[in-house]
Amino acid sequence: MDNCLFCKIIKGDIPSTKVYEDEFCFAFRDINPQAPTHILVVPREHVASIAEAGEKLSPEALHALISAIGKIAAQEGLNNGFRVVSNCGPDACQSVLHLHFHILGGRQMADQMA
Ligand code: 5GP
Ligand code: ZN
């Protein structure tokens, strides 16, 4: 989609540090990491958020996204655990309107999620 930051990153029009890609997904390091490991996993197809992912993405793409998270965590050596976050809409402070899963790890996470 024109004017979508993450679509531009997927296309390579904006540089990123890629950590994983497959037919359905692309993953790269967050520019402002909140943990020693902070990776964003996004579908190649533009959907705004997880609220519409179930309707708009194919079962194959949805499966690939979930699988990618596990593969990336293993690749990054997050053997002691990690947190996955997907902010959706204004109440959750979603700032980029292209579905993304944050993978956060490499340190003990806060006990409270929000
Ligand atoms: P949100 O707030 O929508 O859940 O997360 C958006 C994330 O995208 C933020 O963690 C932010 O640091 C990251 N981000 C914003 N712009 C860029 C960019 O140009 N490159 C990368 N790698 N990450 C970005
Ligand atoms: Zn997009």
Ligand 2 mean position to 29 CA, how many Å? 17
Question: CA torsion sign, 73 to 78 to 79 to 83?
Answer: negative
pTM across the whole model = 0.98
pLDDT one-digit tens code per residue, 85-113:
999 999 999 999 999 999 999 999 999 99
| Atom 16 in ligand 1: residue holding the nearest Cα | 31
For ligand 1, what atom is nearest to the CA of residue 5? Answer: 19
Query: Which one of the ligands is nearest to 56 CA?
Result: 2
The three-class DSSP label of residue 7 is helix
For ligand 1, what atom is nearest to the CA of residue 85? Answer: 4
100 part of the active site: yes
Q: How far apart are CA 57 and CA 34, in angstroms?
A: 28
